[in-house]
Structure formats: C-alpha cells, structure tokens
Structure 1
Amino acid sequence: MATAIVSPTDTEKLSKLRAAVAALNQISENEKSGFIKLIARYLSGEAQHVDWSKIQTPTDEVVVPYDCLAPTPEDLAETKKLLDKLVVLKLNGGLGTTMGCTGPKSVIEVRNGLTFLDLIVIQIESLNSKYGCNVPLLLMNSFNTHDDTQKIVEKYAKSNIEIHTFNQSQYPRLVVEDFMPLPCKGNTGKDGWYPPGHGDVFPSLMNSGKLDALLSQGKEYVFIANSDNLGAVVDLKILNHLVQNKNEYCMEVTPKTLADVKGGTLISYEGKVQLLEIAQVPDEHVNEFKSIEKFKIFNTNNLWANLKAIKRLSRSRCTQDGDHSKPQGSGWNQSSSARNSSCFFDKAIGINVPRSRFLPVKATSDLLLVQSDLYTVDGGFVIRNKARANPENPSIELGPEFKKVGNFLSRFKSIPSIIELDSLKVTGDVWFGAGITLKGKVVIAAKSGVKLEIPDGAVIENKEINGPEDI
C-alpha cells in the first residue's frame, strides 16, 4: 500500500488532538492510544489507495473453494476435540435504530418469536449437546449495548454454554472545523462518542483479559461474525481445514452479485492476500472495482483467527509502541481493521463459501425475506427452501412507510409467499392481506394520499399495481 508523510499542518493538528484526548477521563489509556493512531493513519493517507498495477487475482491456494475442503471427521470424539478448540465471537455493538428499534439490534425478533441472539444461543447449545463439547459464546458490546445485553443474557443462565461479554473501545467524535473531540466541547453524552466496530476486535479481546482466559482453557481458534448475519454459523469443514493446515487467519468470501458491488474483495498484493475496500480504490478504477467480471468475490465479514497468533501480534504491537527504535510494521496497528489484518498472520487465506453463509438483516426488506416461506428455522438454523429454483434471493425495495419494524409488521396480515418472486418494489401507503402470493417482477405503487389494500389470497405475477383495479 502507498504511504504518505504527515504534513507539518497535520502534525500540529495531531499534537493538539493528542493533548485534548489525554484530558478525557472517560476512556482508558489503551483507548486514547488506539484513537490517536487511527487519526494519524487517516492524516498520513496510510493504507489508502493501492497501486492498481500490483493487484493480482488470488489463486485457489490463496482463496480456497469451499468444495475443495476436506470432509470433517466422522468420529464423534474427533469432532468433539475439534470443537473444543473453538470460541464463537459475535459483534454485538450495534443498535436497531435504523429499523426503528431501541436497544441492541441482536434482540430484534427474526422469526417464530426468536431474536438473533436466541438463534445464536440455540445453535451453540445444539453443538455442545450433540458432541459433548464446550464452545463458549463471546459478545463484543459497545457502550450503547453493554447494559442492556448484561440483562438480556441472564435469560440464558441455564443453557449449556458459557456466555462472556466484553466492551469494544469508546472513541470520541471529532468536530470537522477544528479537529477537536466533541466531548471536549461540553458534549459528554453518548452522542459525543462512537464504537469503532470490527477494527477493534483483536485489541479489545486482548485488553479485556478474555484472550488470556480463553488460551488458558486450551482454546485455539475464534470465529467472528456480525450478530445480524443469520448465515454465519459454525462450520466444521472450515475449522478442520484451518487446524489441519495451520492457517492463522481466514476471511470468508462469497460470489459477488450486482447487489454487492460496494463490498470489499480479496486480492493478492505484493505476495500476500489482502482485503481491498472501495475507499482504497483510485477514482478512475471505481467502476472496475464494482464490476462482477474482474472482482468476482466479496467479503462476508465472517472471520476466523488463531488465538495464539492474536496474542503474538498484540505483544509485537505493544513492543513496537514502547520502543520506537523497532522497525515499524512488525505488528498490527491498534486501529487496523480485523478485516485488514490478513497480511500480519502466517498462512492467511480466504475461503470462497456458499452464499447461504451470508444472510444479513440490515433492513425490513431483509426481514421480509427471512420471515417468508423462502426460509424455515430448524434447531436455531435458518434454512433456505429448496423449492426456490433461482439460487439468488429476490431483490426487495420497501418504501419509508415500511422502514420501522413496528410499521412493517402492522402492514402485513401475513408475509406473502415469495418462492417464485424475482423482484418487489413497494411505494406509498400499501397494506397486505393474508395468504398473498407474489411471482416474477412485481411493483406496487399507491397513488399519493390513497390507501391501497392488497386483498387476502391475491396472486400477483409480473404486474404493476397502482390501484384496486389493477389487482
């Protein structure tokens, strides 16, 4: 990656910022250090644009096709031994505000009265019961979700899994005009801060003491995923491959569709596997990056990492911080994204997984998909209906009237059948009856100021509906 030197003006900015951050008593020294490093990297332009001519398509050795993974051991005792090396870590720092909910997003009901967190717990419970293993669940919270999550996990006290929580860092927001932290200007509420998310997983795991505790229990690998990705379940084939081949890091990627054009992709760069994200792409190459011809895969945000390697690299970073005579780059920067850490690990790989491992619920349009007959829930696992011939899910666009979960649910007597649906676009004041079937390409657009009710039992195929007369 190209790097740049911090200009004198930016050095002055950074110096003033460092002094201001040092005075913030709400956060730890580790958090202050991590934040300053993040800003220093931003100002220097480090790890921004890539040299486009050096990008190479990764080989199957670097991004392994899922179908090439060896089968998992058939012996239950061997499988137990494998699973006893594993920890599951879910990123639980997000709120459900974009879907009109308060509190952690992981407690939104997904299906059959079960929340994201319920499904995760049921999945791990079933693994622990089936194989007699001990796979613990870690939840990385933010200051936004910590208190609520602590209360919520009490309901799982009698489950057969250990549940641990820890907090990611708390960083101050900056005021654009003078580059000063918002909390220094009297805004001491939650609005003055933000949680850094994925990029903070490894340092927070280390700083919380959880990493050492897990290593002392003999744990070797952590599987990290967003709590709202219903497809991110423990996969024995992947775990087995990493253990057998001593891969310290793995990013799951999946074939890209036109809906995923902004997603990061894995590339070979200067001899190492590396994540390329849209922010690093020179302007003249953005369209090429978004195409599905050259870059055929994208990052699912499902990661696997070796715990001893995380510890080694964390120690390396600490040594680097304490001794500036050491060569820079010997360990990751605290602000490095976990997704961008592949080049620091030994034998880092990608695995090109089936699309079924990427089923995020970011909006009510995604909720419609997973609540429909396109999916069922079995043992905590969300399973796609084999009756759907098209391997891709239908594209769904719902208007602002459907944005909040409460409004979305009230507008459907029951979720329509969408097994044969290609696309759905809904705008205006639309209400759905029970037992409706949607097929092909469907557009439902209520006229301004008109309430449009789709009657019970309606079958709509390849139609545009503007009023009752079109049904």
Structure 2
Amino acid sequence: MATAAEKLSALKSAVAGLNEISENEKNGFISLVGRYLSGEAQHVEWSKIQTPTDEVVVPYDTLAPTPEGSSEVKNLLDKLVVLKLNGGLGTTMGCTGPKSVIEVRDGLTFLDLIVIQIENLNSKYGSNVPLLLMNSFNTHDDTQKIVEKYQNSNIEIHTFNQSQYPRLVVEDFLPLPSKGHTDKDGWYPPGHGDVFPSLLNSGKLDALLSQGKEYVFVANSDNLGAIVDLKILNHLIQNKNEYCMEVTPKTLADVKGGTLISYEGRVQACNLADFISLQPSSWKLHKSQMNMCLTIIYRWVNLNAVKRLVEADALKMEIIPNPKEVDGIKVLQLETAAGAAIRFFDKAIGINVPRSRFLPVKATSDLLLVQSDLYTLEDGFVIRNKARENPENPSIELGPEFKKVSNFLGRFKSIPSIVELDSLKVAGDVWFGAGVILKGKVSIVSKPGVKLEVPDGVTIVDKEINGPEDL
C-alpha cells in the first residue's frame, strides 16, 4: 500500500504531463490533494460552539438606512462588483447548456434578469457596476456566445473560468485524464470556494482593484432574490467588514447546506450535517428546531482582502470529498465551498436578512412559484405579491412527469393562481387547463395509466383528486 507521500509524488509526475491546464491549476490541484492526503481536518468541539450574537450576525432591520443623495449612492455603487457563479448546467431540469439561460418569466432568462437589474442601477445613479460571470469549462463556450447579445447594454460584462481539475482514480490516486480519459468526463470544477484563487489567477482581481472596486457581491446565477442591497454595502464599507455572509432562518426545505456559528471568538460556517453530528447524545436537533439555524445564501467580500489572503496561500478551506463514477471507474472530486473562507477574513460578520432575499430555482417546483401570480416582475426584480397573507411560500411537490422544463411547460396551458395555496402535490399523467385557481391544501394524483385533465377555469380548494370524477 503506497504511503501518502508516495501517492503525492506519483500524482505530481502525472499532473506535470497534463497539457490541458495551466501551471496555476496544476499547483492548486496538487496543494488540495496534498492537504487531503495529509488528513488535515479542522476539528470543531461542540463545547466551544456558541450561538452567534447580534454583533456577529447582525439583524437586517438594525442596519443604518442607505444615504439618500444620488451622488452618495453612486459613490457606494462605484466600489461594487457583482459576481454570479455561472458554472452549473441545467441538467437536473432536463436542459442543456448553462442553467442561467433557462427562461424564468415573461420570456426572460436568469441572465436577462440579472443584466436588466444592474443596467437599471447604473442608469438610475450614473454608476458603473460591472457584472462578472465565473464559468466552468462546461459553460464557458455557450456563455461567451450568449453575452454577445448584451454588448450594447449599459453594463460591462466580464467572464472568467474557474479552475479545471482532473478527477482522481480512487484505486491509485492518479488523474483520470492521464489514463486516456481526456474528454470532459476526466475533469471537474472544484466547487465555488475556487472563486477566490480564480479571480486572482484570471487577472480580473487586479483589474478591478485598479478601477477602485472594493467589494464583490457573490451569488448563484439561479437565485432570483440575489439583488444588490445598498444598506448591506453601506454597512460593510462603514464598518470595514472584510467578509459578510447573508443568512436567513432555515425552513424544512433547507435541511441541507451550511449554518453560521461563533467559534473561539470568530464567525464560522459549519455544514448542518456536521453540526448535528457534533451534538452530545443528550440533545439532538429535531427538524422542528430548524429555525434555530440560519441558511447561508450570499457573500460580500472585500477585494483587497481576497488578494492578501490568496497571495499568502492562507485560504485553507475545509475539503469536501465528492465520490463519482465514470465508465465504471470510481473517482474522487475534491472541492471547497466559498462560505468556509469566512473565518480567515478580518471583522467577518453575518447579516440575518428577510427570507424574500432567498429565491433559488433548483427544480421545476421552484419554477412554478416564480412563474405564478405569487410574483410580479418590475425592472428585472421578482417582487412578491402583497395579496398573499402567508409569509411562507406554498410547498410544491411535483412528480417525475414534471421534472424536465419542457415537460413541465407542456403540462400547463397557463400557470395556476396560487396566491392562497398552502401546499400542492401533483403526480402521474396530469395536465392543467388555463385559468386554474388552487387554494389551501391540494393533491392531484392520477391513477396509473389514467390521463387526468384539470379543466380551464376550475377552482380547487382543500381537495384530493385522483380521477375526473373528483373534479
């Protein structure tokens, strides 16, 4: 059995022969694998975990109001860059190409809405907020073609690629491409923690700093709630916070993902599964206690701090091993998450924001919400309908027949009205007519082999439907 040092030595030789990636990528990859093989791990002790105070996780409603003068707002915005993580494909929703080009509402894609939002900010205040798209090798070519349509818009758009790392063969810890798998299956993008070194390696970071940019707002391209918030930006500049994590109370829909803790005097991100596993056996976090935790949604980061820490190789984020299989070969992807970097920055804080700032579209059930009358579209912003009294969104569960966007859209003549809906379950061969209104708790599950058509204009209130006779 080879030792860790022998594995790393063999890996270095194999990686040196990979011509598809840069020296920076090779060095970053070797460093990551070396840390993994050394067994380096951060050990969190339950007894040292503390609930974050309001100084560490600041309540949004305590932030100072935004300066009202347009020149003051322009000064704020001229220090800002918006960066969208654009490396994901829409495969889980049955689409090819970047997820950001899925049509969300009124014929507009995620990317269209992002561009419209920033254009409106720049036009209103005479500012120059650029948009950066961090692509992966999976989305780069398609995105380059797509952004051409915005060339006459009032916004600078820059693209750069995150790192491309070779998948590791579990059996001998050698890179998959060195064994002949040189196509895309041999490679992977190493998680959004890679945003910091990739910003520097691409040259974008130095270019932004030379333009006087100070903060970057980082969010996934598929999160429609991720809009520039001037109150947050103003707070960070006034208080010289190098890193800010926006968080919002978890719901039962957020059982995965990270949460924030105070640990040895610093704010720290902790994976919820790890958090639960750390608890003493005398107390276990129950699902009903989820609101004690905060789900991590966006990041605001000081660009000078990013440069300082990346150049010092100080961002030793926790490594996330992600096992996969390619053509029957067991492989490993080593990834990092951007949220784990928070503990390396000075004066890092969280801000506990309203749930309205968190509107991810991960599945067609989320698409149903944002395409419905629960939201309206104003200047590229998806605004919640004030007519809905319940602050929570309805829970939507759609069967596999609705999983792909094309199938989902084909099964609705128009998206039903759901302003007064609490929950919806749909499964089987179900088709919706136009002008349908759903209220309360609705379940529409057709029997196997039965096509169930919900007629135009029907209103369904607190009902379970299994066949035409129930309508």
Shorter-chain TM-score bucket reads over 0.9
Aligned pairs for 1:269-308 within 5 A: 269-278=263-272, 280-281=274-275, 283=277, 285=279, 288=284, 291=287, 293=289, 296-308=292-304
Structure 1 pair 331–428 and aligned structure 2 pair: CA distance change class (3 A): closer
CA contact (8 A) 2:315 2:341 kept: no
The aligned residue for residue 400 of structure 1 is 400
* Cα separation, 2, equivalents of 1:362 and 1:305: 25
- 1:166 matched to 2:182? The reply is no
- 1:451 matched to 2:469? The reply is no
Displacement, 1:278? 3.5
The aligned residue for residue 175 of structure 2 is 181
Structure 1 pair 290–222 and aligned structure 2 pair: CA distance change class (3 A): farther
User: CA RMSD for the aligned pairs?
Assistant: 1.9
- 1:113 matched to 2:107? The reply is yes
CA contact (8 A) 1:396 1:425 kept: yes
The aligned residue for residue 384 of structure 2 is 384
Q: Secondary structure at the match of 1:293?
A: helix
Displacement, 1:347? 0.3
CA contact (8 A) 1:444 1:465 kept: yes
Q: Secondary structure at the match of 1:376?
A: strand
CA contact (8 A) 2:85 2:219 kept: yes
The aligned residue for residue 413 of structure 1 is 413
Q: How many residues align?
A: 453
* Cα separation, 2, equivalents of 1:426 and 1:292: 25
CA contact (8 A) 2:250 2:295 kept: no
The aligned residue for residue 83 of structure 1 is 77
> 1:417 is matched by which residue type in structure 2?
S
Structure 1 pair 95–290 and aligned structure 2 pair: CA distance change class (3 A): farther
Displacement, 1:188? 0.8
* Cα separation, 2, equivalents of 1:67 and 1:201: 30
Structure 1 pair 75–246 and aligned structure 2 pair: CA distance change class (3 A): same
Q: Secondary structure at the match of 1:154?
A: helix
> 1:393 is matched by which residue type in structure 2?
N
Q: Secondary structure at the match of 2:3?
A: helix
The aligned residue for residue 320 of structure 1 is none
Displacement, 1:279? 5.2
Displacement, 1:39? 2.5
Per-residue CA deviations over 1:194-252 (Å, capped at 9, x if unaligned) read: 11231110100000000000000001100000000000000000000000000010000
The aligned residue for residue 67 of structure 1 is 61
CA contact (8 A) 1:203 1:314 kept: yes
Per-residue CA deviations over 1:387-424 (Å, capped at 9, x if unaligned) read: 11111111111111111100000000000011111111
Among 225, 238, 243, the alignment partner of 1:244 is 238
The aligned residue for residue 326 of structure 2 is none
Structure 1 pair 339–411 and aligned structure 2 pair: CA distance change class (3 A): same
CA contact (8 A) 1:261 1:290 kept: no
Per-residue CA deviations over 1:77-129 (Å, capped at 9, x if unaligned) read: 11101110000000001111111111110000000000000000000000000
* Cα separation, 2, equivalents of 1:179 and 1:254: 39
CA contact (8 A) 1:66 1:351 kept: yes
* Cα separation, 1, equivalents of 2:98 and 2:61: 36
Displacement, 1:66? 0.2
The aligned residue for residue 309 of structure 1 is 305
The aligned residue for residue 461 of structure 2 is 461
The aligned residue for residue 423 of structure 1 is 423
Structure 1 pair 80–284 and aligned structure 2 pair: CA distance change class (3 A): closer
Displacement, 1:18? 2.6
The aligned residue for residue 16 of structure 2 is 22
- TM-score where L is the length of structure 1: 0.92
Per-residue CA deviations over 1:107-155 (Å, capped at 9, x if unaligned) read: 0000000000000000000000000000000000010111111111111
> 1:466 is matched by which residue type in structure 2?
N
The aligned residue for residue 51 of structure 2 is 57
CA contact (8 A) 2:46 2:278 kept: no
* Cα separation, 2, equivalents of 1:312 and 1:297: 31
The aligned residue for residue 348 of structure 1 is 348
Q: Secondary structure at the match of 2:289?
A: coil
Per-residue CA deviations over 1:240-280 (Å, capped at 9, x if unaligned) read: 00000000100000011111122210000111100001353
> 1:293 is matched by which residue type in structure 2?
Q
Per-residue CA deviations over 1:39-98 (Å, capped at 9, x if unaligned) read: 333334434552112111000000000000000001111110111000000000111111
CA contact (8 A) 2:276 2:285 kept: no
* Cα separation, 1, equivalents of 2:273 and 2:168: 20
166-175 vs 64-73, which moves further:
166-175
CA contact (8 A) 1:260 1:298 kept: no
Structure 1 pair 25–372 and aligned structure 2 pair: CA distance change class (3 A): same
- 1:203 matched to 2:193? The reply is no
> 1:365 is matched by which residue type in structure 2?
S
* Cα separation, 2, equivalents of 1:45 and 1:354: 39
Structure 1 pair 277–295 and aligned structure 2 pair: CA distance change class (3 A): farther
* Cα separation, 1, equivalents of 2:451 and 2:63: 53
The aligned residue for residue 326 of structure 1 is none
* Cα separation, 2, equivalents of 1:79 and 1:282: 42
Structure 2: gaps spanning 5 or more residues: 320-334
* Cα separation, 1, equivalents of 2:434 and 2:404: 20
Q: Percent identity?
A: 77
Among 215, 229, 250, the alignment partner of 1:235 is 229
* Cα separation, 1, equivalents of 2:157 and 2:127: 14
Per-residue CA deviations over 1:352-410 (Å, capped at 9, x if unaligned) read: 01101110000100000000000011000000001111111111111111111000000
Displacement, 1:38? 2.4
Structure 1: gaps spanning 5 or more residues: 1-6, 318-329
Displacement, 1:30? 1.5
Q: Secondary structure at the match of 1:453?
A: strand
The aligned residue for residue 368 of structure 1 is 368
